[in-house]
Structure formats: C-alpha cells, structure tokens
Amino acid sequence: MNEIKGKFITVEGGEGAGKSTNLDMIKQVLERAGHPVLYTREPGGTPLGEAVRDLLLVHKHDGMADETELLLMFGARAEHLNRKIVPALTAGTWVLCDRFTDATYAYQGGGRGIDPKRIQVLEQWVQQELRPDLTLILDLPIEVGLARAEKRSTPDRFESEAHHFFQKVREAYLDIAKNSPKRVKVIDASLPLAQVQSQIKTVIDDFLAVCI
Ligand code: Z5A
C-alpha cells in the first residue's frame, strides 16, 4: 500500500442517529484547521459502489442471503478504497466517511449474526493494514432513532428490520467502542443537536491536538 499521509475519520451509528446532520459540521471543523477533506459514504462512494448500495437497500432484494449482503458490502468497499479513499489519503487529503467496516461488524456481525472472524478475514484482505484513525459512534436508544428516521423517509431494507435486530446492532457498536477505546469515541446522540455537536467538537479538537 502507498504511503498514507492524510487521516481517515469514520462516523457510525444506528438509524436516525444524526450522521448526515453532523457530517457537514465535522468537515467544516477539519477544514478550518487547515486540512483538505474528502467526504464520502458507505455503502457507496463510487459509481459502482452507489449501484451496489441500490441493490442492498431496495426491498426488491428482501430475503437476500446474509453472505451475499456481506460480500456486496466488501465488494463496494474494495472499489471505494482503490478508487477513492487510498488515493486521497496518499495525496494528504483527510477522508471523512459516513460508515465503514465497523458498520459491517455491527449490522452483518451483530444484526445478522455472521461470525466476526469471517468479517475479519475480508477486512484484512480488502483493507490490508488500513484502519480508521478516529471513529465517532453516535449512540442513542433504538426507539428515538427510529422515530427520527421515520419522519424523514420511507424505510429501506435495513430500516424495515425488527427491533431486536437494531438492539444487536447497537450492542455490537458499543462492544467495538469498549474494545478500541483509543480509536472509537461514543457520542450521546439522544441529546438536543447543540449538545451532540458540542460533544463531537470536543472529540475532533482532541484528535486535532494530537495530530499536530
Ligand atoms: N450498512 C451495513 O449493513 N453494513 C455496512 O458495512 C455498511 C452499511 C457500510 C445505509 O446506511 C444502510 O447500510 C444502513 C446500514 C447498512 N442501514 N440502515 N438503515 P446509511 O448510513 O445511508 O443509512 P442510515 O443509518 O439509515 O442513515 P440515515 O437514515 O441517513 O440516518 P442518519 O444520517 O444517522 O440521521 P440523520 O438523517 O442525520 O437524522 C435523522 C433525523 O433526525 C433528521 O430529521 C434530523 O434532522 C434529525 N436529528 C438529527 N440529530 C438530531 C438531534 N440531536 N435531535 C433531534 N433530531 C435530530
């Protein structure tokens, strides 16, 4: 892998946690600190990745095999890494990504019940040594997130899952945070937006301080 010069920041969370709402603010904070930022998302981020995203989210493919779902996520990710993320990081651009492999551990691992060891194999194969430098998990009770998401749009294939699926996704995210406390910071996303943004700003400022 080429020499990585930029930083790789990911934002994660359950349904309606406020990722989209807060990503623009994070981008602005990073840019004000003098860093060029590439904003992107998963699944997606490239033309092929966005086409795979459509396959993954539409109800037409309800009942997709769990393994198919997992492999499509990593197929889109391989394309995203090769065409967009790694070239940007190599050029010194910081990459801010709406979801990444922690989402795979949470949704396909926690939610679907796929053995995390299988996910690890794909992670190592597709990403080699590349891992995010900082991950923010926007955490909130399932009911609060679903109520927020429902107000916004018709539920997609994931958003239509049952409550216990989202409970397992949330638990998996919190386990990731417990196991990687240096990289992963949990934000209480149930609070009013101003308080959520203040927590996020503190985490980003602390991260920037150690990057100098
Ligand atoms: N997925 C997977 O299974 N495996 C993988 O490896 C990857 C992904 C990478 C698409 O992701 C799906 O792919 C996702 C997991 C799966 N499953 N689902 N669903 P996505 O990120 O595009 O989808 P999403 O999680 O549904 O994102 P979202 O619906 O866009 O939610 P969000 O970005 O976190 O929330 P938001 O749009 O910013 O906010 C929702 C509403 O709440 C909105 O009206 C806001 O104005 C409001 N809001 C936000 N913050 C607040 C506060 N603090 N108070 C009150 N109201 C608020």
Alpha carbon distances (Å) from 2 to 29, 38, 51, 142, 184: 27, 18, 27, 40, 25
The span from the first CA to the last CA of the chain, in angstroms, equals 24
Q: Does any domain span residue 154? A: yes
The pLDDT value recorded for residue 159 is 83
The pLDDT value recorded for residue 25 is 97
With a cut of 80, say whether residue 2 has pLDDT above it. Answer: no
Q: What backbone torsions phi and psi does residue 29 show, to the nearest 5 degrees?
A: -60, -45
The pLDDT value recorded for residue 151 is 75
Q: Does any domain span residue 67? A: yes
Q: Which domain holds residue 15?
A: 8-211
The pLDDT value recorded for residue 96 is 98
With a cut of 80, say whether residue 153 has pLDDT above it. Answer: no
Going across the sheet that includes 37-41, the strands are 37-41, 94-98, 8-13, 134-139, 184-188
The pLDDT value recorded for residue 129 is 96
Q: Does any domain span residue 56? A: yes
The pLDDT value recorded for residue 162 is 84
State the DSSP H helix or E strand holding residue 41, giving kind and residue range, or none if neither. Answer: strand 37-41
The protein residue whose alpha carbon is closest to atom 36 in ligand 1 is 18
**How far, in Å, from the CA of 126 to the mean position of ligand 1?**
25
Q: Does any domain span residue 2? A: no
Q: Which residue has the higher pLDDT, 80 or 163?
A: 80
Closest C-alpha to 130, from 90, 176, 178, 184: 90
State the DSSP H helix or E strand holding residue 139, giving kind and residue range, or none if neither. Answer: strand 134-139
Q: Does any domain span residue 1? A: no
CATH code at position 113: 3.40.50.300
Across 145-151, average pLDDT: 86
Q: Does any domain span residue 94? A: yes
Distant-in-sequence, close-in-space partners of 47: CB < 8 Å, separation ≥ 6:
none
Least confident of 28-42, 119-133, 143-157: 143-157
Split into its structural domains, the chain has a count of 1
State the DSSP H helix or E strand holding residue 137, giving kind and residue range, or none if neither. Answer: strand 134-139
Which tens digits make up the pLDDT trace of 197-208?
A: 999 999 999 999
How sure is the predictor about 1, in pLDDT bands with cuts at 50, 70 and 90?
Answer: low
Decide whether any atom of ligand 1 lies within 6 Å of the 104 Cβ: yes
Which tens digits make up the pLDDT trace of 65-107?
A: 999 999 999 999 999 999 999 999 999 999 999 999 999 999 9
CA 142 remoteness from chain centre: 17
The pLDDT value recorded for residue 175 is 98
Decide whether any atom of ligand 1 lies within 6 Å of the 149 Cβ: yes
Planar angle of CA 164, 167, 173, nearest 5 degrees: 145
DSSP 62-130: TT--HHHHHHHHHHHHHHHIIIIIHHHHHTT-EEEEES-HHHIIIIIIIIT---HHHHHHHHHHHHTT-
Planar angle of CA 130, 136, 137, nearest 5 degrees: 115
Distance CA(97)–CA(145), nearest Å, equals 20
The pLDDT value recorded for residue 179 is 98
Distance CA(101)–CA(117), nearest Å, equals 13
Decide whether any atom of ligand 1 lies within 6 Å of the 175 Cβ: no
Percent of the chain with pLDDT over 70: 100
Q: Does any domain span residue 35? A: yes
Q: What is the DSSP letter of 17?
A: S
Atom of ligand 1 nearest to the CA of 151: 44
Q: Does any domain span residue 72? A: yes
With a cut of 80, say whether residue 114 has pLDDT above it. Answer: yes
